[in-house]
């Protein structure tokens, strides 16, 4: 038995070494770039931290040790520098999304969530698709056509939080925000709510959404073991493997719903279809295109908003003085609870920005490929074809940009002359900024204002602690405790 284990271990080590040698021979050299010695020959350490849900923490620790430029693997560099960030993500800069996006979204063998707007690597195709999103997802269109739906779901969610907290002593706001955000994205994108707020339970749909990001990570990082996991009779493991494909099926159902509700002004995909018909020769959307975009929206439109709202409430309740000030601001006499009015509240919006800075839902890597001819970044000549990345987690903790960066300080965003730093990127950057940013901000503003208007004196549960809110990073950054309990 021991001999067999030694043989297998030796074979695996040989494979790793051979792959490292081949990588060194065929990839442009990153000799001279700072980083741990092992990053010269292997990416497996990075892969380990990715699978452990610690990728962004690991990369940040390398920046703290080696500086603003660090080598992650034989073919990957990470930058934590505002000028490099702008150069990499500026419009027309020549940096394109890497194959990682399509592989991560498409899954092994083309299975999975599907390659939509987020994952497209072709610049022209992305620009064409983005134009279809522009009208439906503009702030003006959302306020005109969709705000009433968002308000309805927000009020129902807050009502259910109040009832649960009073009946049982506590309420899990993360659960309710997830149900709310899922109902909103279902109603607005496909004309039919999932009715999760009415059930009040984490349905199979929600468990699928919670598992999808981790499942997609597994499909990308360890495709060889998926078949093995499918054979293990453990429901949670099976869900991790099948979650991306299940989201794919939700997208298929959404296409059918779209056809039944295409005359609804609040139907975002119907608006996109109408726009595509106007310029059909350029931007035609097939049913499969809609299915892919629907699958991506179901995932991106629920988890991200729910996570941000959970952290927002958590940081406010940790500071009773801040909670009282927020309660007073959102309950000001004569204040109209509308997105336009709430956008003018200085304290509420400062707290939102600071929450997005420290606890944004997508704080991890944004990889790009260096254009032909190479570039100069951070004082280094970077060869063409190299993968470079930035991550909001590190950029938002740069002490040169944000003094005392680990302190939650909402005053950073208050004052007439406050300008957002060029490396502030909670929703991405450049042409790849999240298409749903205005909808996300609307949901966050309305939900926070409604909660603190109706739930004065809210407290964190005695069982809550900071360790439960530590973020685990499987593309999204989710609290490891997967809940946040509050009480009156």
- How many domains are there within the chain? 1
Please state, in angstroms and rounded to a whole number, the distance separating the CA atoms of residues 429 and 91: 9
Could you tell me if residue 76 is inside a domain? no
Could you tell me if residue 339 is inside a domain? yes
Could you tell me if residue 98 is inside a domain? no
Angle between helices 44-51 and 204-221 (to 10 degrees): 170
Report pTM. 0.88
Please state, in angstroms and rounded to a whole number, the distance separating the CA atoms of residues 387 and 73: 10
pLDDT digits (tens, 9 = 90+) for 287-296: 777 777 777 7
Could you tell me if residue 46 is inside a domain? no
Could you tell me if residue 41 is inside a domain? no
Could you tell me if residue 181 is inside a domain? yes
The mean pLDDT of 224-233, rounded to a whole number, is: 68
Could you tell me if residue 398 is inside a domain? no
Q: Residue 192's domain spans which residues? A: 125-362+430-487
Question: 122 or 439: which carries more pLDDT confidence?
Answer: 439
Question: 331 or 272: which carries more pLDDT confidence?
Answer: 331
Please state, in angstroms and rounded to a whole number, the distance separating the CA atoms of residues 393 and 390: 9
Q: Domain of 155: which CATH number?
A: 1.10.630.10
404 by Cβ neighbours in 10 Å (0-12 / 13-18 / 19+) ranks as: exposed
C-alpha closest to that of 96 among 375, 481, 438, 404 = 375
pLDDT digits (tens, 9 = 90+) for 340-397: 999 999 999 999 999 999 999 999 888 999 999 999 999 999 999 999 999 999 999 9
């Amino acid at each position: 038995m021991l001999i067999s284990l030694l043989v297998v271990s030796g074979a695996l080590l040989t494979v790793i070494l051979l792959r490292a040698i081949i990588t060194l021979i065929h990839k442009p050299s990153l000799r001279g770039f700072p980083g741990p010695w092992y990053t010269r020959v292997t990416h497996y350490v990075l892969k380990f931290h990715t699978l452990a849900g610690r990728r962004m923490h690991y990369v940040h620790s390398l920046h703290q040790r080696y500086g603003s430029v660090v080598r992650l693997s034989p073919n990957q560099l990470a930058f934590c520098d505002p000028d490099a960030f702008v150069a990499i993500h500026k419009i027309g800069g020549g940096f394109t999304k890497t194959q990682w996006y399509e592989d991560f979204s498409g899954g092994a063998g083309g299975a999975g969530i599907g390659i939509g707007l987020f994952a497209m690597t072709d610049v022209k195709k992305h620009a064409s698709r983005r134009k279809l999103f522009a009208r439906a997802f503009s702030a003006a269109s959302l306020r005109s056509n969709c705000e009433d739906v968002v308000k309805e779901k927000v009020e129902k969610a807050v009502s259910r939080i109040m009832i649960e907290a009073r009946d049982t002593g506590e309420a899990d706001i993360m659960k309710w925000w997830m149900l709310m955000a899922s109902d909103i994205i279902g109603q607005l994108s496909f004309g039919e709510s999932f009715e999760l707020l009415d059930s009040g339970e984490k349905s199979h749909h929600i468990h699928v959404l919670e598992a999808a990001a981790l499942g997609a990570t597994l499909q990308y990082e360890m495709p060889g073991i998926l078949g093995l996991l499918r054979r293990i009779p453990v429901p949670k493991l099976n869900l991790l493997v099948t979650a991306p494909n299940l989201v794919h099926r939700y997208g298929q159902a959404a296409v059918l719903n779209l056809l039944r509700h295409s005359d609804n002004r609040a139907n975002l995909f119907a608006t996109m279809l109408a726009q595509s018909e106007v310029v059909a020769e350029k931007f035609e959307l097939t049913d499969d295109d809609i299915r892919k975009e629907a699958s991506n929206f179901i995932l991106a439109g629920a988890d991200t908003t729910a996570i941000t709202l959970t952290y927002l409430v958590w940081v406010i309740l940790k500071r009773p003085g801040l909670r009282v000030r927020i309660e007073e601001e959102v309950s000001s006499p004569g204040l109209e609870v509308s997105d336009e009015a709430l956008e003018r509240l200085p304290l509420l919006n400062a707290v939102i920005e600071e929450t997005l800075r420290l606890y944004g839902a997508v704080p991890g890597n944004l990889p790009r490929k260096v254009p032909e001819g190479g570039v100069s970044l951070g004082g280094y000549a970077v060869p063409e074809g190299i993968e470079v990345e930035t991550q909001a987690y590190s950029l938002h903790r740069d002490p040169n940009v944000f003094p005392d960066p680990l302190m939650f300080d909402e005053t950073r965003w208050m004052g007439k002359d406050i300008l957002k730093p060029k490396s502030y990127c909670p929703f991405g950057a450049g042409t790849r900024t999240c298409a749903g940013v205005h909808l996300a901000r609307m949901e966050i503003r309305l939900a926070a204002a409604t909660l603190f208007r109706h739930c004065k004196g809210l407290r964190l549960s005695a069982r809550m602690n900071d360790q439960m809110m530590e973020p685990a990073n499987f593309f999204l950054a989710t609290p490891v405790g997967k809940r946040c309990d509050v009480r009156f």
